[in-house]
Copies of this chain bind each other. A is one copy, B any other.
Amino acid sequence: MTTTLVPGNTLITASPEEGRQLAIKMARLVIKATQPDDNVRNELRDVYAHDARALIDVGHVVAIEFATIAAANNYWRG
């Protein structure tokens, strides 16, 4: 497995916005590790970007990744 799974190898981010970006990246990188072929992933991306329920599922996974990242950052309470 050579795909980097956690960019920067940390869950700590400067802000909720960056935490959300990390959540999206982490969700995508698991897909990449599972299906490493760029062409196949691009084709599938075109499928789910036009499928209402698949898009909602993407949002679901990002929500779960974000919950972990938010907890790691003590919710950026400052």
- A interface residues (Cβ-Cβ under 8 A, vs B): 1, 4-6, 9-12, 15-17, 19-21, 24, 26-27, 30-31, 33-35, 40, 44-45, 47-68, 70-72, 75-77
Contact = CB atoms under 8 A, between A and B. Distances in A.
B50 A57 contact: no
Majority DSSP secondary structure for residues of A touching B: helix
A77 B12 CA distance: 8
A34 B55 contact: yes
A35 B52 CA distance: 10
A39 B65 CA distance: 28
30 contacts: A1-B21, A5-B21, A6-B15, A10-B16, A10-B76, A11-B76, A12-B75, A20-B30, A24-B34, A27-B59, A27-B63, A30-B63, A31-B58, A34-B55, A34-B59, A35-B50, A44-B51, A44-B55, A48-B56, A51-B52, A52-B54, A56-B57, A59-B61, A60-B60, A63-B64, A64-B67, A67-B67, A68-B71, A70-B71, A72-B76
